[in-house]
């Protein structure tokens, strides 16, 4: 493969069908979709196909740069959409490779697109992790405030506009325990304080901290602490 002075890539030992604008853009769209889904192998194979087809068809460098610019634009729009800093993302690429419009080498342009895709996947993965953390932080803050009320995972998911199954998995991943266990532990800790510092009856404390009845409260309290609430109260006096 040789590059002529005009910026056209010439291949002498093989022929290929010229990939039209629509076909090239579908491949760019496939690369973009692979980046968003985090499928590294798919992205790599599509980038390889794109440049192989472009070289076979003697595609001018300016057209390739235009396609890469389209990919950049789609990625920057997505980064902005999820409250990321697109300017900062592009600045990092430009520090490593310079301006896209200044790239005059086929191999370097191939390397640029591969690096763009890899950096974008890493960026989106980091943003997803941060967003997960922010979401669970908000959820746990809400539970810590409202644990005395009747809280169900389904209601919590609806409040935060999330799927309840996904929220349950996310909660356990970040909190280290299932939602129901976290909620009961929070209620038990509050009950301990009331048993130590107040003259409230056990049955009243059970309802005050959010348990539906005293029998269930007593069962969960003993399971968690190893003693009955009444024994805990007497030991604290």
As a whole number of angstroms, the distance between CA 24 and CA 46 comes to: 10
Evaluate whether 222 touches 188 at the Cβ level (below 8 Å): no
pLDDT at 130 over 90: no
Q: Taking the chain, what is the end-to-end CA distance rounded to the nearest angstrom? A: 88
Tens of pLDDT, residue by residue over 169-218, are: 999 998 999 999 999 999 999 999 999 988 899 999 999 999 999 999 99
Specify whether the CB–CB gap between 112 and 90 falls below 8 A.
no
Residue found under tokens 């939602």? 179
Helix axes 106-146, 86-97, angle to 10 degrees: 150
pLDDT cut 70: percent of the chain above it: 91
> Could you give the angle at the alpha carbon of 29 between the alpha carbons of 25 and 35, nearest 5°?
145
Most confident of 55-59, 95-99, 220-224: 220-224
82: left (phi over 0), alpha (psi -120 to 50) or beta: alpha
Largest CA distance in the chain: 93
3-state secondary structure of 1: coil
> Mind giving me the DSSP string for 12-71?
SS-------HHHHHHHHHHHHHHHHHT-HHHHHHHHHHHHHHHHHTT-BHHHHHHHHHHH
- pTM, to two decimals: 0.62
pLDDT for position 20:
67
Q: What is the pLDDT of residues 87-117, one digit of tens each?
A: 999 998 888 888 898 988 889 999 999 999 9
């Amino acid at each position: 493969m040789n590059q002529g002075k005009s910026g056209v890539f010439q291949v002498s030992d093989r022929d290929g069908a010229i990939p039209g604008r629509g076909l090239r853009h579908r491949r760019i769209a496939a690369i973009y979709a692979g980046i968003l889904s985090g499928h590294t192998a798919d992205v790599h194979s599509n980038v390889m196909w794109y440049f192989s087809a472009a070289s076979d068809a003697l595609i001018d460098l300016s057209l390739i740069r235009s396609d890469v610019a389209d990919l950049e634009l789609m990625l920057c729009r997505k980064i902005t959409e999820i409250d990321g800093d697109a300017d900062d993302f592009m600045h990092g690429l430009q520090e490593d490779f310079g301006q896209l419009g200044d790239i005059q080498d086929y191999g370097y342009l191939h390397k640029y697109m591969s690096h763009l895709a890899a950096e974008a996947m890493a960026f989106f993965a980091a943003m997803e992790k941060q967003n997960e953390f922010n979401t669970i932080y908000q959820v746990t803050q809400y539970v810590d405030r409202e644990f005395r009320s009747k809280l169900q995972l389904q209601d919590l998911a609806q409040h935060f506009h999330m799927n309840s199954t996904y929220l349950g998995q996310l909660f356990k991943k970040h909190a280290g325990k299932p939602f129901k266990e976290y909620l009961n532990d929070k209620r038990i800790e509050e009950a301990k304080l009331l048993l130590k510092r107040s003259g409230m009856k056990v049955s009243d404390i059970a309802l005050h901290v959010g348990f539906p009845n005293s029998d269930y409260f007593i069962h969960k309290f003993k399971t968690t602490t190893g003693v009955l609430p009444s024994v805990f109260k007497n030991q604290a006096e």
